[in-house]
């Protein structure tokens, strides 16, 4: 008799759990919907130039303007000397005050390339770019260019990957594997680390020890720059850009291993910058943003992290760094997510994922 009562209790619990999971899944899935705006070819970076227009890059070399209402696509001519090689090509793009900033793998001859940044006055039909930064030295590699752009005040921040060269990220006399900070005209800020307490650093370098930083964003909530790093076999992370500091690659492995399975190093140790949040195994972090808007106003101030590997969008509540809360918003819905943009007025979210531009909005 006691056994029958216990069985009935367990049965009731399982039934309640079943219906709870169904209800939770259905209510969550109905909270948002996707719309495919246009199809593209290897889209990489995007930026709003008007309420209804995005400028986007395709890794293969095209720059396009997309009207998100009419779905019209316009090609933009440009003069960039890019090299599409492996992960390289046209990368991030950012519009600010009638200027376009772009990061790209620049063709430096003999299959050598650099993560470079160029600037052009905005014109709808043609962009005449001039370089304002070149990562030195140029390297024969198709790996780990980074590269994202963010603006804070009159400073341009750019992330430069270590090009698959590992310990080059610990050499501040070389740009690969670092965060770059320059003025918007390409000149060097007088308070960069070199001019304070890092005389051996190149003048453009702001922070070192980074592998493949594919996310970079400015937070309007606390005025800080945040970044994401794409680790090896594990060791992805989200963290703050900090002046004159060192994230530790390739001394640290951030919890990951080499693709061969050989350990890289400890997750963290004193003397190095500690990330806010890590992912082991890797989710292949890509673009990030600190959400600000009305469409999903309950997310204001939270970090949105996109993923290539598991094709997910994750939300991090990170104000209290001793108690990080992570939520998977969706997974495997629209393909590998390369970029994320929040509409400056209504807060709806746009993704470059797979081969398309997508809109995410509430039901």
pLDDT digits (tens, 9 = 90+) for 261-306: 899 999 999 999 999 999 999 999 999 999 999 999 999 999 999 9
Domain assignment of residue 354, yes or no: no
Confidence of residue 142 (pLDDT cuts 50, 70, 90): very high
State both tokens at 307: 């993923």
Give the C-alpha separation, 145 to 164, whole Å.
Answer: 9
pLDDT of 15 reads 53
Task: Sort residue 125 into left (φ over 0), alpha (ψ -120 to 50) or beta.
Answer: alpha
pLDDT at position 22 over 70: no
R_g of the chain computed on alpha carbons: 22
Tell me the CATH number at 55: 2.120.10.30
pLDDT of 25 reads 39
Closest by CA to 136, choosing from 160, 120, 155, is 160
pLDDT at position 6 over 80: no
Domain assignment of residue 338, yes or no: no
Give the C-alpha separation, 237 to 214, whole Å.
Answer: 11
pLDDT at position 353 over 90: yes
Domain assignment of residue 81, yes or no: yes
Count: domains in the chain: 1
Domain assignment of residue 188, yes or no: yes
Confidence of residue 9 (pLDDT cuts 50, 70, 90): low
Confidence of residue 229 (pLDDT cuts 50, 70, 90): very high
Domain assignment of residue 311, yes or no: no
User: Residues 175-201: what's their mean pLDDT?
Assistant: 97
DSSP 3-state of 17: helix
pLDDT of 27 reads 36
Closest by CA to 218, choosing from 295, 313, 154, 273, is 154
User: Residues 176-193: what's their mean pLDDT?
Assistant: 98
Residues 6+ apart with CB under 8 A from 217: 148, 150, 225, 226, 227, 288, 289, 290
Confidence of residue 24 (pLDDT cuts 50, 70, 90): very low
pLDDT of 331 reads 96
Domain assignment of residue 17, yes or no: no
User: Residues 5-25: what's their mean pLDDT?
Assistant: 50
Q: Are 145 and 129 in contact (CB under 8 A)?
A: no
Give the C-alpha separation, 90 to 86, whole Å.
Answer: 12
Confidence of residue 205 (pLDDT cuts 50, 70, 90): very high
pLDDT at position 40 over 70: yes
pLDDT of 56 reads 98
Domain assignment of residue 323, yes or no: no
Confidence of residue 36 (pLDDT cuts 50, 70, 90): very high
Give the C-alpha separation, 29 to 328, whole Å.
Answer: 12
- For residue 293, the tally of other CB atoms under 10 A from its CB is 17
User: Residues 19-35: what's their mean pLDDT?
Assistant: 58
Average pLDDT, the chain: 93
pLDDT of 20 reads 44
Confidence of residue 11 (pLDDT cuts 50, 70, 90): low
Domain assignment of residue 58, yes or no: yes
Confidence of residue 335 (pLDDT cuts 50, 70, 90): very high
| Containing structural domain, residue 215 | 41-275
């Amino acid at each position: 008799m006691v056994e029958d009562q216990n069985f009935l209790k367990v049965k009731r619990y399982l039934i309640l759990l079943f219906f709870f999971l169904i209800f939770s899944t259905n209510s969550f899935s109905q909270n948002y919907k996707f719309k495919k705006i246009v199809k593209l070819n290897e889209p990489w970076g995007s930026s709003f130039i008007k309420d209804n227009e995005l400028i986007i890059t395709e890794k293969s070399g095209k720059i396009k303007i997309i009207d998100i209402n009419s779905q019209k696509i316009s090609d933009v001519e440009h003069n960039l000397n890019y090299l599409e090689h492996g992960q390289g090509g046209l990368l991030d793009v950012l519009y600010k005050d009638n200027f376009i900033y772009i990061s790209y793998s620049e063709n430096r001859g003999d299959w050598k390339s650099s993560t470079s940044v160029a600037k052009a006055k905005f014109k709808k039909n043609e962009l005449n770019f001039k370089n304002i930064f070149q990562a030195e030295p140029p390297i024969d590699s198709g790996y780990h260019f980074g590269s994202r752009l963010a603006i804070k005040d009159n400073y341009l921040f750019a992330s430069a990957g270590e090009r698959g060269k590992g310990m080059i990220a610990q050499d501040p006399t070389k740009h690969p594997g670092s965060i770059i900070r320059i003025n918007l005209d390409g000149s060097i800020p007088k308070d960069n680390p070199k001019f304070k307490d890092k005389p051996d650093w190149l003048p453009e370098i702001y922070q070192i020890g980074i592998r493949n930083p594919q996310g970079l964003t400015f937070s309007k909530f606390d005025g800080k720059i945040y970044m994401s790093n794409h680790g090896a076999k594990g060791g992805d992370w989200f963290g703050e850009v900090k002046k004159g500091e060192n994230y530790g690659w390739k001394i640290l492995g951030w919890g990951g291993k080499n693709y061969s399975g050989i350990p890289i190093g400890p997750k963290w140790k004193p003397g190095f910058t500690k990330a806010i949040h890590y992912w082991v195994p890797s989710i292949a972090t890509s673009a990030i943003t600190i959400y600000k808007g009305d469409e999903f106003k309950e997310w204001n101030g939270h970090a949105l992290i996109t993923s290539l590997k598991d094709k997910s969008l994750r939300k991090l509540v990170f104000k209290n760094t001793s108690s990080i809360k992570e939520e998977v918003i969706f997974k495997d819905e629209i393909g590998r997510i390369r970029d994320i943009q929040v509409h400056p007025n209504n807060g709806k979210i746009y993704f470059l994922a797979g081969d398309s531009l997508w809109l995410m909005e509430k039901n």
